[in-house]
Amino acid sequence: MIASILDSTKKILGIAADYTEFDTDIIIHINSVFGTLNDLGIGPIDGFMIEDSEAIWEDFLAGDNRFNPVKTYMYLRVRLLFDPPTNSFLVSSLQEQIKELEWRLNVKREERDYPYIPELEDVDAGDLGSDSARFGEVLTADGFGNSGWDPLTRVEVLDPDEEPDPNTIPGTVILKRLS
């Protein structure tokens, strides 16, 4: 796989890495797309730009593979700026792909910046449908005997003074028993 941002973008555009006639144009478009990505909250906080083929994707992605679709996004945006298709249907198709990738990248950014942290609820032991739930026990919806709960819901019962594990499975409802 080509690590260079410029060379990989040129390759997918159908331009050989050693053909440098359009490098300045492509670099300008790549940097413009990096500006858009920065507006979306993706990449380094202070922004990112390239000047030649030395900059690599790792410099931008910093090892976060969740954002690998940025490479496809870069190609689609540069393609529309550098060499737009003459067929309006193809232009519309590329624009739709760009919108979808922007949405997906935004979702990934939100997951990164605002991870799901379950809320703690104080409950009485009687609310669990059984007095037999022990501290630290993980229950499924069947443990409630209540069909109103999603069968995939997990509930962890904590001691009133205990803090939840930050690595708790997302979607787990954490209940703290009242003392």
Contacts of 100 (CB under 8 A, 6+ apart): none
From 113, 141, 165, give the residue that closes a domain.
Answer: 113
Q: Strand 172-177 to strand 154-158: parallel, antiparallel, or no bridges (unpaired)? A: parallel
Residues of the domain holding 14: 5-113
Q: Are residues 94 and 126 in the same domain?
A: no
Q: DSSP for 81-126?
A: HHS--S-HHHHHHHHHHHHHHHHHHHHHHHHHHS---PPEEEE-GG
Mark whether 38 and 101 lie in a shared domain: yes
Per-residue model confidence (pLDDT) at position 112: 80
For position 128, what pLDDT does the model report?
47
Q: What is the pLDDT of residue 49?
A: 96
pLDDT in tens, the chain (179 residues): 789 999 999 999 999 999 999 999 999 999 999 999 999 999 998 999 999 999 999 999 988 888 999 999 999 999 999 999 999 999 999 999 999 999 999 999 888 877 665 554 444 444 444 444 444 444 444 344 443 434 344 455 555 566 656 555 544 554 444 44
Domain co-membership, 139 together with 84: no
Regarding whether 18 and 97 lie in a shared domain, the answer is yes
Same domain for 142 and 74: no
pLDDT given at position 167: 56
What 3-state DSSP class applies to 153? coil
Number of structural domains found in the chain: 2
